[in-house]
Amino acid sequence: MISSVRLKPLNWQPYIAPVELSEATPEQLDAMKVTPSAKKVSEYVRTLAHDPESYLARTILFNAIMYVEGGLARPDRELGALGASIVNGCKFCAVVHARRHAELTKSDQVVTTLYLDKPEKLGPRDAAIYSFARRLSAAPSEATADDIAALRSVGMNDVEIIDLVHAISIFGWANRLMHVLGHAQTGK
Amino acid sequence: MIDAIDKAAGLSPDDELFRARRFRPEFVQGAEECRISVLHPAHDQGLAPILRVALARRMAALNGDAALVEQFDTQLAQLDATGQLLAVAQGETALKEPLATIARHADLVTLTPKKAQASDIALLAQAGLSNPQIVALSELIAFVNFQTRVATGLRLMRSS
């Protein structure tokens, strides 16, 4: 038995001044989906709203990849996101998606195993997903046909593998925003 | 319709994988809209598409993605890239400012995102980039790193 790792949510702080709602352009307000009654929009959203076009397009794609119905099970997408976030060094994203994995599976066993850096203790399916996530996230990618074979051998079909490729890849994107434009802090 | 990711992954409409990718029209459409938003945006924030494509080519090369490199090379030729912008595209480091600082940042965040820190953003500001330009550049860098991984994953699936 490994003792449970307790992960507390982190707080994210930008390195540049976010857009102030009082100074936002109509396009920025629209991208942030700010309604007249909204008082608080997160610093993360307001930072990225400096470029509303990319913010809007990425948010739509991100939500599709992480939340679309069917295909790859949601905990598996979260595990892909977690593997990418660990490789890319985004502590903030890693904690968010570790916690989400634990919530969805109602168990913190996988997350605990990874935070204690014992991936050899993962079950075969989680091991195949986590290993592929790490290797595809390296720059340049270190993933090979063997990784795809390992995913197929634990029963994943093409649609599920494509979903996983996207979950890992979108964190190659998100991590390069969160960890580059700001930093994570403990506390509220 | 064949998009940039199909091209990079070598997929054609006859391939089973081409059809499997279309099981998620929202991913296909979404990735294409993201590509336009970072490479050919309606408002470029003063970072011209030709610079964006040059940087994308540079980052595709850092990722060892020959197919994407070829795609961006074709676009650079169509845009008549010359001089400093070609040097950016080809990975050179002896560049004029602010290109030198921009290219350094793209290299760092592509290869070693873990090492990025507050001082790297400060360098961009010192080189004269505005906050909207810093964010637009960050989204471009991050997008290319997304795109090469989707293409890589699909290529591996095709070959195994």
- How large is the ipTM? 0.98
**Average pLDDT of span B91-113:** 98
CA angle centred on A8, ends A34 and A74, rounded to 5°: 65
Q: What is the mean pLDDT of residues B133-141?
A: 98
Rg (CA), chain A: 18
Residue B125 contacts A, CB cutoff 8 Å: yes
Asked if the Cβ–Cβ distance from B37 to A88 is below 8 Å, we say no
Q: Across chain B, what does the average pLDDT equal? A: 97
Q: Output the pLDDT for position A1.
A: 40
> pLDDT value at position B159?
87
The pLDDT tens digits for B72-85 are 999 999 999 999 99
Q: Does the pLDDT value for residue B68 go beyond 80?
A: yes
A25 touches chain B (CB under 8 A): no
What are the contacts of A102-106 at 24+ separation with CB within 8 A?
A102/A7, A104/A74, A104/A75, A104/A78, A105/A75
Backbone angles phi, psi at A182, to 5 degrees: -170, -175
A73-172: what fold?
AhpD-like (1.20.1290)
**Cβ(B99)–Cβ(B88) below 8 Å:** yes
Least CA distance to A167: which residue of chain B? B150
Q: Where in chain A is the domain with CATH 1.20.1290.10?
A: 73-172
Domain limits for position B84: 4-159
Rounded-to-integer distance, Cα B119 and Cα B51, Å: 23
Give the residue on B whose Cα is nearest the Cα of A65: B27
- Residues (pLDDT < 70) of chain A are 1-5, 36-39, 187-188
Assign residue B125 the CATH number of its domain. 1.20.1290.10
Say what the pLDDT of residue A5 is: 67
Q: Which 30-89 residues of chain A touch chain B by CB within 8 A?
A: 47-48, 50-51, 53-58, 60-61, 64-65, 68, 71, 87-89
Q: What is the pLDDT of residue A17?
A: 98
Lowest mean pLDDT among A30-44, B16-30, B139-153: A30-44
Please write the tens of the pLDDT for every residue from B110-125: 999 999 999 999 999 9
Per-residue confidence (pLDDT) for residue A188, from 0 to 100: 55
Instruction: Please answer whether residues A165 and A84 qualify as being in contact, where contact means their C-beta atoms are separated by less than 8 angstroms.
Output: no
Q: Is the pLDDT of residue B7 over 90?
A: yes
Calpha distance B75→B50 (Å, rounded): 9
The number of folded domains in chain B is 1
Residue type (1 letter), B119 = S
Of chain B, the percentage scoring pLDDT greater than 90 comes to 98
In whole angstroms, what is the distance from residue B38 CA to residue A54 CA? Answer: 6
Question: Cβ neighbours of residue A143 under 8 Å, at least 6 residues apart?
Answer: A132, A135, A136, B152, B153, B156
